[in-house]
């Protein structure tokens, strides 16, 4: 059984002679018995639909829902998707971010494969 569902590495790029490293994408099993992680929301190059993806733009899953609501400082968007039978949700501000902190909607007594 794996504690990590997705682990995206090699997220370094160069800009004007400086190297920058992003946190990448990771989804893992945590002490609170939920899965937590960070993913990116991007447009699928083939379909034009918004998808859950790695930092490199590789598809993780199709989004089940995409709902907008007004947050305190900007329009917020709630997303949900299913990966390996586990339902995830997360919120982000699409006006300035593509990165979403996510969590599973249920607790699991052990990591799912």
pLDDT at 26: 86
Q: Within 13 Å and on the Cβ side, how many CA atoms surround 21? A: 4
Instruction: Record the tokens describing residue 71, joined without a space.
Output: 């947050």
Record the pTM. Answer: 0.83
pLDDT at 113: 61
Residue pLDDT, tens place only, 59-81: 999 999 889 999 998 999 999 99
Instruction: Record the tokens describing residue 108, joined without a space.
Output: 């699991």
């Amino acid at each position: 059984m794996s504690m990590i569902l997705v682990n995206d590495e090699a997220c370094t790029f160069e800009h004007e002679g400086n190297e920058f490293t992003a946190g990448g994408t990771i989804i893992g099993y945590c002490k609170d018995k939920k899965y937590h992680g960070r993913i990116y929301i991007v447009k699928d190059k083939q379909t034009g639909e918004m998808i859950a993806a790695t930092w490199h733009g590789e598809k993780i899953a199709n989004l089940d829902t995409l709902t907008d609501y007004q947050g305190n400082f900007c329009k917020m968007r709630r997303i949900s998707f299913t990966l390996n039978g586990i339902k995830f949700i997360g919120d982000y501000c699409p006006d300035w971010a593509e990165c979403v902190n996510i969590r599973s909607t249920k607790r699991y007594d052990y990591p799912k494969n």
